[in-house]
Structure 1
């Protein structure tokens, strides 16, 4: 590169855009689409299940096929943006995400839908990986940046708030395919908006791209999630499942060893020497792996067991989503005044309380039994959405912004993927065993009982009784409601226990970090 080119590059990376509001609008539009596609499927899963003849494992892949590449490629995408230009990668990501959305809408079987969701996830990784660095470049002044990050967090919470409601409305009136097709016109507009209105920015000293590390991380995550999803059906002690967990452990160990030895790793392990940063990352992982992951099974419960339409189910998510939407901007404004142990640790504590309250659901409960717990969990979810990215961004110098925020966002996606898989395994096991217990007095043939167990474990709810002989239909309906409610109870209770343990650990980490280093200003 010539001296003139170097000067041009230094100027380009140092000068913020003249219209930072355009950058903020484009980033918020992209984030809204990405988060919407995580939550909009919650109430569409029953229709996808019926239309594509999918089982629970297929439905889990509809969620995890999106989050896995997002988690595995996010850090690499951030590095690519730092090196080749964040606007350029943002535009490519928008194009890939939009094409993936169109392909999802055209899917004719679960395998095609899962594959195209993975394509969406690749595009989403590029968008997530460049979002915060673009904002950091657009808003170099701390106070203005804090406001932009607050808008960013509010957008994440807002998409979470309207996702189930919008998804339910679309599924009821147009079909599940349109929850993906709606992204196409928005994506096209955002693509051209980025090309025309977003100035280019790069890191002055970009990190090298760690292809080997990316491959190791991808293999590890894929093997872990595969084992969790297929463990119930294949047998937890089977060679396939044990082998999957062994591969996951070996791949992540190799990834960590490599990261510790090379000069410019994909993940700088020095970040994890900062207790506060570890606490922030762990909070993102746990909240995504508990309340966010659990909503997939609650959506199935609302539609297939309680008998609501997708739109009606979306309405019943409002205690969770609206409180999250309201809490996000409030905590964004307060985050620079309140210590991290209170904002970050407190968000986990409130999520724990909400999950525990909601876990008291049983066969006699209506949806209102979940509402108070959803309100509490929504406050914690909104608070975490508002403060986590800002805390990560404020903890490092600008050239490491992509990595710092990328690791936190990666941990969120890993948490979602692992949570969906792990809680799905719990749901399938508990509902199946409960169903066998509830139908035992009917003395059905063992083969029929096994079929009922498989159906109820796939989230079919009271629909399992639809094709049963008339004399068994009422009994099977009661058994299905009881079994599914019990499965939801166990899922939410385990999620509450995990979040509770994490609250104690995160609190200790944040207090320790606050003593050893001043808390970052968000």
Structure 2
């Protein structure tokens, strides 16, 4: 089944004259750029953070996911708040809260404080992601204008991911990792000022309420799910806290569905998922973004932790990946308007899948950029196509009055997928690496004392701690074993992310189609409306 966009002709604009529209788009792009910088920031400096704070594998995963978890958990909540009280307020408030979080991170002297700072910044990003998209879609009701604006939003998001490794790598090359967070805090203040001065206010309060039962159940469900996945490798999948958290996640998710079905003013109108294109977009966002960010996290561990590359060296591959989208911005505009999201998503997800498998085949001892160029370029092209098209596929099939809800839902499922990426890849990789090392240490030719030391470090901190520990001559003996075990573990993670991208491509092919739209269809609003799909504005 192939679903087409449903547009309504513009009536009166709430955002004022064209100059205000332009300012709104600029501010929205700055906001999502800031949010994406925070999301990608730790990637190039994971190795430095691990060595500076002596973190375990689980703590290293939490440093990335402490930002992503609130971004996923609170996306719908902030979507409602933006609809009720105005998206401009969310842009300003989210940027300011992010600045506070970066100040906490910049002064951290422990993994716990850094995780706390990341969580505060993630709450700010939870407001910025949906609000930035909602203000842009609200100010561009026509297909052509929206295509240009969504391409700009995607480019800004990719630009943030481009700036992050350059910023963190360059700063940390010459000083502490803390200064990378301090510099991002300054950017957050600049984004808050831009949002205050440039953004036109928009809202859609009709039929919206805070729906506290829905907010609480979905928030706790996602938090319980992610806790169980992240802590599984270190605590044990059969441990009481992990099992209880996964069971609680299932129960709370069922409760959320029941609450939303019975609520007079739900935070998420579940009938939106009766629109095939919207439901497919949500599924693709979770699965596909899991594949993309899981692969990016895998690459960051390869470069910074396994290979011990410098922050600037680790940043270069991410610059290649994220540098593609700004260069193909005109192409994204044309494709969104004339080809449609279906072919873009199929091509993008398949590019990501091939990139992950290609990266897996690059030997772990290869530290140069040239052997990685092929998978890096494919990753960049795939990311640009996917993010632009998946956003358009979701927000273009709902009535204008529901674009705020659709934007928040898109942010939630995208951020959930991105959060699951490092969590699941880390769980699979660390679990496999631990098993390999547990079996392999017995045949490593170690003395009983050396074996006891290695086993104690492995049990206390996991395979990453054993690989990076300063144990004198013992480290030299262990290095081939720890490197191979970690490489095998994270290569298994790449297979998992590639399969996820193939599944997302299949969903896009079935529900959105693989054929390009005709010229007239690409230029004119569609006749079919969301009401025909069973959804009323």
Same fold (TM over 0.5): yes
Q: Name the CA distance, whole Å, in 1 between partners of 2:330 and 2:176.
A: 33
The residue aligned with 2:157 is 156
The residue aligned with 1:165 is 166
Summarize deviations over 1:411-460 as a string: whole Å, max 9, x none: 11111112211111111112222233443231454533423545884535
Find the residue that maps to 1:497 and give its secondary structure: helix
The residue aligned with 1:384 is 386
| Alignment partner of 1:467 out of 461, 465, 471 | 471
Select between 74-83 and 240-249 the one with higher mean Cα deviation: 74-83
Matched, 1:495 2:497: yes
Matched, 1:92 2:93: yes
Find the residue that maps to 2:55 and give its secondary structure: coil
Q: CA 1:193 to 1:378, structure 2 compared with 1: closer, same or farther past 3 Å?
A: closer
| Superposed counterparts of 1:108-123, under 5 Å | 108-123=109-124
Summarize deviations over 1:54-86 as a string: whole Å, max 9, x none: 111111111111111111111221211111122
The residue aligned with 1:5 is none
The residue aligned with 2:212 is 211
The residue aligned with 1:55 is 56
Q: CA 1:69 to 1:104, structure 2 compared with 1: closer, same or farther past 3 Å?
A: same
Q: Name the CA distance, whole Å, in 1 between partners of 2:64 and 2:18.
A: 36
Matched, 1:425 2:427: yes
**TM-score using structure 2 length:** 0.88
Residue 190 of structure 1, CA deviation? 2.8
The residue aligned with 2:533 is none
Residue 39 of structure 1, CA deviation? 1.0
Residue 242 of structure 1, CA deviation? 0.9
5+ residue gaps, structure 2, are 1-10, 527-537
The residue aligned with 2:138 is 137
The residue aligned with 1:179 is 180
| Superposed counterparts of 1:24-103, under 5 Å | 24-103=25-104
The residue aligned with 1:441 is 444
| Superposed counterparts of 1:111-510, under 5 Å | 111-203=112-204, 205-367=206-368, 368-439=370-441, 440-445=443-448, 447-451=452-456, 453-454=458-459, 457-460=462-465, 462-464=467-469, 466-468=470-472, 470=473, 472-510=474-512
**Count of paired positions:** 508
Where relative contact order (Cα < 8 A, 6+ residues apart) is larger, the structure is: 2
Tell me, yes or no, if the aligned pair for 2:23 and 2:199 is still in contact at 8 Å.
yes
The residue aligned with 1:6 is none
Tell me, yes or no, if the aligned pair for 1:435 and 1:483 is still in contact at 8 Å.
yes
Tell me, yes or no, if the aligned pair for 2:53 and 2:111 is still in contact at 8 Å.
yes
Tell me, yes or no, if the aligned pair for 2:437 and 2:463 is still in contact at 8 Å.
no
Residue 304 of structure 1, CA deviation? 2.9
Residue 223 of structure 1, CA deviation? 0.9
Residue 139 of structure 1, CA deviation? 2.9
Find the residue that maps to 1:442 and give its secondary structure: coil
**TM-score using structure 1 length:** 0.90
Summarize deviations over 1:157-202 as a string: whole Å, max 9, x none: 1222232222111111232112221133322233233333323222
Q: Name the CA distance, whole Å, in 2 between partners of 1:180 and 1:329.
A: 32
Select between 437-446 and 126-135 the one with higher mean Cα deviation: 437-446
